[in-house]
């Protein structure tokens, strides 16, 4: 890794106003990462998506954010104008949202959106060339009939197709940082592997930084360099992804134990007993 990290976040806090007063959903998250593959796993509602949205600058308006430091490639994100942030989002940072169909424009054809995305990444590309490139990319993410999907509207594609369209759209833009929030949760392993290898290529060849948020422990441990485990708005532990199976924290160990397997025993799955101490320790 080079000297300055691509992303550096220190003491990130995000709160929401509730009847009973403000409630912190993210409670002091700090991490750094470079041109690598960083996995983020953790409890549903632990603040993974909010952390990602804070970094992208797309938190909901009523969220209250405080952070000691938040930098992207040497740029202090807490000080730049909204305009610069928007420009950064268009050009150098990309995010694949957890709800793919929600983030696609419902009234524009899938192909049109990918073509636009290519031309945002590189305005010199002609429409024709962008169209070809879009079709190629759809094929690369294993879409069976790229010509047809190119012409479809978002509500006309299946769940897994929507996810792949989002990935195609973000990868063609060639961002320096890509945040992918559950990008393959609807894909079976065979397609998942192929799609992930496209992201891998972008990391390896272009030095993109990838933040992969996923519930899929197998995917994260196979695919990432490091993994952050989150619980109740905080980072519990950080591990080399290959060492996930050797995790020490009882939460992480409990997670691994909860996974069903094809050849697992019948009956109830083990569940996690959540220790109140995890909230503070």
Partner 1 sequence: MIDVRNVTVRFGDAVAVADVSLHVRPGESFGLVGESGSGKSTILRTAVGLTSDWSGEITIDGYDAKSTPTRELAQRVQMVFQDPYASLHPRFTVGRAIAEPMRIQKMAGIEERVDELLRLIGLDASFRSRYPHELSGGQRQRVAIARALALQPKVLLLDEPTSALDVSVQAEILNLLEDLRAELDLTFLIVSHNLAVISHMCDRLMVMQDSRAVEVLTREQLRAREFSSPYTRKLLEAA
Ligand X SMILES: Nc1ncnc2c1ncn2[C@@H]1O[C@H](COP(=O)(O)OP(=O)(O)OP(=O)(O)O)[C@@H](O)[C@H]1O
- Site residues (vs ligand X, CB under 6 A): 16, 25, 44-50, 60, 98, 155-161, 186
Residues 214-233 that bind partner 1 (CB under 8 A): 215, 217
User: By CB under 8 A, how many residues form the interface with partner 1?
Assistant: 51
Q: Which two tokens stand for residue 231?
A: 């619980």
C-beta closer to partner 1: residue 156 or 201 = 156
DSSP code of residue 235: E
> CA 30, CA 258: separation in Å to the nearest integer?
27
For tokens 């804070």, name the residue.
Answer: 54
- Smallest distance from the beta carbon of 52 to ligand X, in angstroms? 8
Cite the beta strand spans of the chain per DSSP E. Answer: 7-18, 21-33, 37-42, 64-66, 69-72, 75-76, 93-96, 177-181, 209-213, 226-231, 234-240
Closest to Mg ion by CB, 40 vs 118, is 40
- In the window 10-39, what residues touch partner 1 (CB under 8 A)? 16, 18-19
Instruction: Please answer whether residues 195 and 142 qualify as being in contact, where contact means their C-beta atoms are separated by less than 8 angstroms.
Output: yes
- Token digits for 47? 């603040």
- Closer CB to partner 1, 32 or 139, in the complex: 139
Residues at the contact surface with Mg ion, assessed by CB under 5 A: 49, 98, 158-159
Note the residues at the interface with partner 1 (CB under 8 A). 16, 18-19, 41-45, 49, 60, 98-99, 101-102, 143-144, 148, 156-161, 164, 182, 185-191, 193, 215, 217, 254-256, 258-264, 266, 268-272
């Amino acid at each position: 890794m080079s000297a300055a990290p691509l992303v550096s976040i220190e003491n990130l806090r995000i709160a929401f106003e509730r009847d009973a007063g403000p409630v912190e959903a993210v409670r002091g998250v700090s991490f750094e990462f470079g041109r690598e593959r960083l996995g983020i796993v953790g409890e549903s509602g632990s603040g993974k998506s909010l952390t990602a949205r804070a970094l992208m600058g797309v938190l909901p308006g009523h969220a209250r954010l405080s952070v000691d430091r938040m930098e992207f490639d040497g740029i202090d994100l807490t000080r730049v104008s909204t305009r610069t942030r928007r420009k950064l989002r268009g050009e150098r940072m990309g995010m694949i949202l957890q709800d793919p169909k929600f983030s696609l424009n419902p009234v524009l054809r899938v192909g049109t959106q990918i073509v636009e995305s290519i031309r945002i990444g590189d305005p010199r590309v002609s429409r024709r060339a962008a169209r070809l490139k879009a079709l190629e990319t759809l094929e690369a993410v294993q879409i069976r009939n790229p010509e047809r999907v190119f012409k479809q509207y978002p509500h006309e594609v299946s769940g897994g197709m929507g996810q792949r369209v989002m990935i195609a759209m973000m990868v063609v833009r060639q961002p320096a940082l890509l945040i992918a929030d559950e990008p393959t949760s609807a894909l079976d392993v065979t397609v998942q592997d192929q799609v992930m290898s496209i992201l891998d290529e972008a990391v390896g060849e272009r030095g993109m930084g990838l933040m992969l948020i996923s519930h899929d422990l197998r995917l994260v441990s196979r695919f990432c360099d490091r993994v952050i485990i989150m619980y109740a708005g905080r980072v519990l532990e950080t591990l080399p992804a290959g060492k996930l199976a050797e995790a020490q924290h009882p939460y992480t160990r409990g997670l691994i134990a909860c996974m069903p397997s094809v050849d697992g025993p019948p009956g109830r799955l083990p569940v996690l007993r959540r220790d109140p101490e995890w909230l503070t320790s």
